[in-house]
Structure 1
Amino acid sequence: MEDLLYKTISRAKTALLEERGSKFYATVSPTETRDDFKRFLALAKDKNPGATHYCWAFRIGFSPTDELSSDDGEPSGSAGLPILRVLAGKEMVNVACVVARFYGGTKLGVGGLIRAYSQAASSALMQAKIVEVQERVKFFVELPYKILNDFEAMLRREDGKVIESTFGEQVEITFDLPKSREENVLSTLADISAGQLKPKLKE
């Protein structure tokens, strides 16, 4: 099974669009969880205090992708959904976009808003470095010390990475690996532990 590759961005970028007096500050950022997004949204608000609207969208995770958007007081479907369509159209995953609008005194109408929010999000993405990433899955497992070396060697072979380790009576390990290696890893863990180890899939 080949690794599936997805597009994301390497770091946050911001672009400014001006339309009939209104200013649209669009920022895109890598975002792997909803908690990540909450922090990013708070930061975007801090960097753009006093904006009339903070409209946003995100696409998080693989198969299925978690998608959500907000118009934040703009006419329904005129802001968040256009931003989301830009992210989806570029096949982005683990990416969020917040557009802070400062009203300039002239109403743009629904069509004008759709164009403005779409263009602002597109401009921010154009500023960002787009990279390809593997679909990866995350697990938690408790290991006896006697098989720790075998586990670490297996993880290296399968392109896995230890995210967090806690050492107590046993070793508690959170790790991730390419989705395509999942069956191999689970089978190997069963072999080296005589069927005792059953890693738990983490969200």
Structure 2
Amino acid sequence: MPLYKTVKKSDEETLIIKKSKFISYVSPVKNEVEANHFIEMIRKKHWDATHNCYAYVIGENSHIQKASDDGEPSGTAGKPMLEVLKKEGVLNTVVVVTRYFGGILLGAGGLIRAYSQATTEGLQKAGIVERELHTEILLDVDYTWIGKLENELYNKGYPVKNVEYAETVRFTILAKYMFEQQLEKFLVDVTNGQAVINRGATLYVDKLLI
């Protein structure tokens, strides 16, 4: 996936609603196996909880979606959690909301609001990022080009990942996936063809949204 939204890191948040404790656990995952492993980990950690409800969205076009009420009234936990994930547009993300019952019934509407709120606040705590695929462009050039290259790259907004100084200078520049040729042509023009250009690894670059 060249571009998608997900959570920045694994994190947790706790809410107390009418004496019930809701603990939301959020994590980025690569596939359904990782999601199920995360769910089982939380279940083992909170084996004594009243409920461990979950939801996840995985894959391009959100083609894998799953939710569980884990004993709560049907449609009051997993589904609203899943709806929050879909509303935020995050992919490859799993949420588990652990509930310890506090003795006061919330009703169907109260449960939907509680699980939705727990999921929303969990996502905010973990941070939502826009993850975009980039390719490293490796530029080897003579030292005399350093100043001009730094200025031109800065003006065009191309991110420089690293600069190495040896017999020549190597710039590692990040190009958005499928736009590598555009950057390579730009570098050829800037250096009058006096640079050696190769492609390196592909990697994701995160932009924090919340």
TM-score, with length taken from structure 1: 0.64
Report what 2:24 is aligned to.
Answer: 26
Report what 2:56 is aligned to.
Answer: 58
Q: Deviations over 1:146-186 (max 9, x none)?
A: xxxxxxxxx977xxxxxxxxxxxxxxxxxxxx9869xxxxx
| 2:62–2:91 Cα contact (<8 Å) kept | no
Q: CA deviation at 1:65?
A: 2.7
Q: CA deviation at 1:5?
A: 2.1
Structure 2 CA distance, aligned partners of 1:55 and 1:21?
Answer: 18
Matched, 1:110 2:108: yes
How has the CA–CA distance of structure 1 residues 64 and 18 changed in structure 2, closer, same or farther, with 3 Å as cutoff?
closer
Q: Which runs of 5 or more residues in structure 2 are unaligned? A: 138-175, 180-210
| 1:31–1:95 Cα contact (<8 Å) kept | yes
How has the CA–CA distance of structure 1 residues 135 and 58 changed in structure 2, closer, same or farther, with 3 Å as cutoff?
farther
Q: CA deviation at 1:63?
A: 2.5
How has the CA–CA distance of structure 1 residues 74 and 134 changed in structure 2, closer, same or farther, with 3 Å as cutoff?
same
Q: CA deviation at 1:45?
A: 1.6
Q: How many equivalent pairs are there? A: 141
Report what 1:190 is aligned to.
Answer: none
State which of 25, 40, 43 in structure 2 corresponds to 1:42: 40
Corresponding letter in the other structure for 1:8:
T
How has the CA–CA distance of structure 1 residues 179 and 80 changed in structure 2, closer, same or farther, with 3 Å as cutoff?
farther
Q: CA deviation at 1:32?
A: 1.6
SS at match of 1:76: coil
Q: What is the percentage of aligned positions where both structures have the same residue?
A: 40
State which of 83, 97, 100 in structure 2 corresponds to 1:85: 83
Matched, 1:17 2:15: yes
Q: Which runs of 5 or more residues in structure 1 are unaligned? A: 137-154, 158-177, 182-203
| 1:65–1:93 Cα contact (<8 Å) kept | no
Corresponding letter in the other structure for 2:8:
S
Structure whose alpha-carbon radius of gyration is higher: 2
Q: Deviations over 1:34-73 (max 9, x none)?
A: 1101110111123323001110100001125311101111
Structure 2 CA distance, aligned partners of 1:42 and 1:67?
Answer: 17
Report what 1:5 is aligned to.
Answer: 3
| 1:31–1:37 Cα contact (<8 Å) kept | yes
TM-score, with length taken from structure 2: 0.61
